[in-house]
């Protein structure tokens, strides 16, 4: 009993700078806390989708390691959790959109491979994933290269149809909150095909996202 308590405690220790915005824990099936080596996740094991992912980004996270590009199943969850496979995205018209993106973890092969866990993916339209979503990722890395240390949260809100034959809901919106040394960016993107390439177009007040999600952002 005591050993289980101690184990549960250490499994829920958060990396420096990351706040557990939803009170995720390892006893919940819909708000399950999963602490990876390179990021932290709250996962919904009923629908098979991350609620949010958080990570820090600094210049030391950026290196010469090439993109792994090998999508793999996340086997760290309880056996009863619903998980989708890479093949579930085929012929759906949606990208496997990274939450913690691979280019933010190029200091080691292990950390880069970890970003390709399927639990770290959201179904995103190609127009979002390769458009304003990617442009914000690039902007964050630019700040990191200039010496800033960022804290980043990303997740999804709402549901459209299920992804293919799975029961995983396609997000209606994808969001990101970026804490820089002098500003907090809160971005809410429609998961649609027609989008403005300028990611700043989708900036909203953080208070609005707090109300929409119920999360306790710092």
**What CATH number did the domain enclosing 53 receive?**
3.40.570.10
Start-end of H helices in the chain: 2-11, 109-114, 126-129, 132-145, 206-213
What's the whole-model pTM score? 0.92
Q: Count of domains in the chain?
A: 1
Q: CA distances (Å), 206 to each of 13, 53, 175, 184, 218, in order?
A: 25, 17, 11, 8, 10
pLDDT recorded at residue 11: 42
Catalytic residue of the set 36, 83, 98, 141: 98
Q: Distance between CA 34 and CA 43 in Å, rounded?
A: 7
- Domain-embedded: residue 78: yes
Q: Does 154 score more than 50 pLDDT?
A: yes
Distance CA 140, CA 135 (A): 9
Domain carrying residue 172: 2-213
* Residues 177, 55 contacting (CB under 8 angstroms): no
Q: Please write the tens of the pLDDT for every residue from 12-47.
A: 556 778 999 999 999 999 999 999 999 999 999 999
Query: How is residue 214 written in tokens?
Result: 């119920």
Residue 108, domain member (yes or no): yes
pLDDT above 50 (res 173): yes
Answer yes or no: is 218 within a domain: no
Contact 103, 55 (CB under 8 A): no
Give me the pLDDT at residue 8, please.
41
pLDDT score at 17: 82
Indicate if the pLDDT at residue 10 is higher than 50. no
Read off the tokens for 128: 């979002």
Give a yes or no: residue 207 inside a domain: yes
Q: If you average pLDDT over residues 122-145, what whole number do you get?
A: 98
Cα 26 from Cα 55, distance rounded (Å): 19
Flag whether 88 is in a domain.
yes
Decide if 145 is inside a domain: yes
Cα–Cα distance between 48 and 143 in angstroms, integer? 33
User: What pLDDT score was predicted for residue 14?
Assistant: 67
- Is 14 known to be catalytic? no
Q: What is the pLDDT of residues 92-115, one digit of tens each?
A: 999 999 999 999 999 999 999 999
């Amino acid at each position: 009993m005591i050993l289980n308590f101690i184990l549960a405690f250490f499994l829920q220790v958060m990396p420096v700078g990351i706040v557990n915005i939803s009170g995720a824990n390892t006893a919940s099936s819909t708000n399950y806390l999963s602490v990876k080596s390179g990021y932290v996740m709250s996962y919904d094991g009923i629908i098979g989708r991350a609620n949010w992912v958080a990570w820090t980004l600094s210049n030391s996270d950026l290196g010469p390691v090439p993109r792994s590009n090998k999508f793999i199943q996340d086997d760290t969850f309880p056996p009863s959790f619903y998980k989708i496979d890479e093949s579930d995205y085929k012929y759906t018209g949606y990208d496997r959109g990274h939450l913690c993106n691979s280019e933010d973890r190029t200091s080691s092969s292990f950390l880069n491979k970890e970003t390709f866990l399927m639990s770290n993916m959201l179904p995103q339209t190609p127009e979002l994933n390769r458009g304003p979503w990617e442009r914000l990722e690039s902007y964050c890395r630019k700040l990191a290269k200039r010496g800033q240390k960022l804290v980043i949260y990303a997740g999804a809100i709402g549901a459209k149809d299920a992804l293919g034959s799975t029961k995983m809901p396609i997000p209606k919106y994808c969001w990101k909150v970026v804490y820089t040394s002098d500003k907090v960016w809160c971005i809410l993107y429609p998961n649609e095909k027609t989008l403005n390439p300028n990611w700043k177009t989708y900036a909203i007040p953080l208070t609005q996202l707090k109300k929409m999600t119920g999360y306790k952002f710092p």
